[in-house]
Structure 1
């Protein structure tokens, strides 16, 4: 059956959903509205992992091939603390420029017959559409117009951060920790092309204020950060997009993800802390799940309910990991004085719901033992999802 779909928001979630719907049925009438001019976007590069690439291949091999061909990859993680460097082999990761990713998705959508309307931002659900998709980000105008229906809740994190770029091309996912007289400041760096990397810098509010970063001009702030991270930047500059500023991360949740024929997708529905590098992956997986639900159910209410139910369940582990990851950095003094190889090992375990309650040295020893004992490995795998479900149930009961 031919349906008319209007998607507001031309980010990864909205564009990929449009691609999947046109692949399912070329007769569908699909339009994507994007507030920005074509070719303009925020941010630098995005990360993803092998698991997402496998899913992309299953849903649309052509898109998967294009994304992989324009991505850089790494397998190592590097941490630098007090002039010491430790390197660990990890899972295969990928980086791609956000601009490049959107260009590839837009090109594929156009080739399939999707209409793309740039510099267009409907603030109310367009009339005449069978389905309206709010993929317009954390500040979604469509969701805001029915805020009481969706039950939007925003939690502000403690640490401020700033999203920057650099011409330094990192050969691994790099963590750099620098001690100042006002406390620790750290950066996450990863390549996304042959000549640029993303560099996210974070610190405590006290360190940000003590260093004057919260009131410094752009040039002054970048110069100070370049000095603090000179050992990892190797003389390369840091680059700021227009409007880049220090701000705390906002975690957004919604009590409901759909109302009538309006459904939330990607950051309009949920956000997870940037330190787990999952935002783009979760947005694309939202699109996959919604497309599957619309194909499997003939009735729109049933399809949207199935989508919301499945994605809420799938997001539990990622949301738990993001929550504990953010808390790990907020409590960095608890771990930073460990020997670098031990600190980096616990950095890799920052998603664990047990770590905040076990002395770091003891946890490190238990984790080493768990690597050798299958029974303990099974216990860790068993505890993780159950802790996430228990926290979700507790949060839900508090809201109700």
Structure 2
């Protein structure tokens, strides 16, 4: 089958890999408008559930991704400079490193990856039996198809900016800072060696009152460094990996009534978006990619059946995920309703933003204020992480594979 993927992000590249792995006879081309190595944003977060998926699907690229990633442990929630702690851990990787790994793996499997080619009309799409539309939330190709997919786009209320810093965090940090005109907060986590991602968010009224709409890039960075001086500890913020001024955006929630039309199929952010406060965009894109590749493999030459099954299963699964993400986004849009509490109560409210927090969970959360409890939880998380790594067959630092434990 001749397949063209429009978009060289995680969705398009991982689908190309997955399709090539299942049938080396596929003629797969990935077309990306950006030059090699170019990317917006700094780092992406993920958890063991993504690693489980990647190792089952393609252990080769999964090992390289894990090797390029860093582990963060615990979440720290700061309110007026006072910290509260949550257990747990996760992984993060620089977006540029992620794309480099996926691009090289696709090339190794015989995929034709073309950079610097922008699709301005459907006639510009290279001829193919299947066109995979994976060019992001603002998908140009999806737009060129008119209302074929029944696209609905909702705009979030809060402005946010995706920044970087040379401060290296060991945990996922939320810092809520009060200003005379409202609250400003960050979501910060390590991205790669020597850098961290630093997302700044606030309510629209606060953004307006701080004059961020008229501020220059230098003025914006200087103001944010002053506001977050407590968590940055003298380190610097920088605005973009591509040298552009700070870009303030409003989150776009994308939904589609149909994920395929004729021989075109949506994937990743072109099909759906979930707010960054649940950190699932990359994982969901990879799940889409594996699901479509598997359906194509299972149904052979029956393209319409493969697309229909992909559409029904993935769109149904995404409905609940997007509802949860909307709830999370709404909580942050009304965060000032909770800031009259102490830090522990505030962080408990944040943990329960997608549903009520049972009493025992609140007590466990409250216990995390004590350092010995946090130490025990870190030991537990370290053991759990090692067990899951062994079950996946992750390599040890010396290169030897960990033995797989238990059922796959």
Task: Provide the residue aligned with 2:94 in structure 1.
Answer: 97
Matched, 1:55 2:53: yes
1:323-342 matches, within 5 Å, as 323-342=326-345
Q: Give the C-alpha shift of residue 370 in structure 1.
A: 10
CA contact (8 A) 1:168 1:195 kept: yes
Matched, 1:368 2:367: no
Query: Quick one: higher RCO (CA 8 Å, sep 6+), 1 or 2?
Result: 2
Q: Give the C-alpha shift of residue 170 in structure 1.
A: 0.7
Of 230, 252, 264 in structure 2, the residue corresponding to residue 250 of structure 1 is 252
SS of aligned partner of 2:85: strand
Question: For each residue in 1:123-150, what CA deviation from the matched residue of structure 2 results, as whole angstroms up to 9, or x when unmatched?
Answer: 3163631111111111212111112111
CA contact (8 A) 2:8 2:30 kept: yes
Matched, 1:317 2:344: no
Task: Provide the residue aligned with 2:277 in structure 1.
Answer: 275
SS of aligned partner of 2:20: helix
Q: Give the C-alpha shift of residue 317 in structure 1.
A: 2.9
SS of aligned partner of 2:184: strand
Bigger Cα displacement from structure 2, 144-153 vs 51-60: 144-153
| Inter-partner Cα distance in structure 2 for 1:238 and 1:364 | 38
Aligned residues: 359
Q: Give the C-alpha shift of residue 83 in structure 1.
A: 1.8
Task: Provide the residue aligned with 1:260 in structure 2.
Answer: 262
Of 41, 44, 48 in structure 1, the residue corresponding to residue 42 of structure 2 is 44
1:181-220 matches, within 5 Å, as 181-220=180-219
Task: Provide the residue aligned with 1:140 in structure 2.
Answer: 139
CA contact (8 A) 2:9 2:134 kept: yes
Q: How large is the Cα RMSD of the aligned pairs?
A: 1.6
| Inter-partner Cα distance in structure 2 for 1:41 and 1:128 | 26
Task: Provide the residue aligned with 1:382 in structure 2.
Answer: none
Task: Provide the residue aligned with 2:308 in structure 1.
Answer: 305
SS of aligned partner of 1:147: coil
| Inter-partner Cα distance in structure 1 for 2:303 and 2:98 | 30
| Inter-partner Cα distance in structure 2 for 1:219 and 1:303 | 51
Task: Provide the residue aligned with 2:85 in structure 1.
Answer: 87
Given the superposition, is the C-alpha separation of residues 32 and 200 from structure 1 closer, same or farther in structure 2, using an over 3 Å criterion? same
Structure 2 stretches of 5 or more lacking a match?
366-408
Bigger Cα displacement from structure 2, 240-249 vs 303-312: 240-249
Task: Provide the residue aligned with 1:163 in structure 2.
Answer: 162
Runs of 4+ aligned residues of structure 1 deviating over 4 Å after TM superposition are 363-367
State the TM-score, normalizing by the size of structure 1. Answer: 0.87
Given the superposition, is the C-alpha separation of residues 57 and 4 from structure 1 closer, same or farther in structure 2, using an over 3 Å criterion? same
| Inter-partner Cα distance in structure 2 for 1:69 and 1:39 | 19
Question: For each residue in 1:338-372, what CA deviation from the matched residue of structure 2 results, as whole angstroms up to 9, or x when unmatched?
Answer: 221121122122222xx5xxxxxxx674853899x
Bigger Cα displacement from structure 2, 72-81 vs 123-132: 123-132
Structure 1 stretches of 5 or more lacking a match?
356-362, 372-400
Given the superposition, is the C-alpha separation of residues 87 and 127 from structure 1 closer, same or farther in structure 2, using an over 3 Å criterion? closer
Task: Provide the residue aligned with 1:76 in structure 2.
Answer: 74
CA contact (8 A) 2:75 2:172 kept: yes
Q: Give the C-alpha shift of residue 121 in structure 1.
A: 2.2
Question: For each residue in 1:194-219, what CA deviation from the matched residue of structure 2 results, as whole angstroms up to 9, or x when unmatched?
Answer: 20010000001111011111211000
Bigger Cα displacement from structure 2, 139-148 vs 15-24: 139-148
Q: Give the C-alpha shift of residue 35 in structure 1.
A: 0.1
SS of aligned partner of 1:150: coil
State the TM-score, normalizing by the size of structure 2. Answer: 0.85
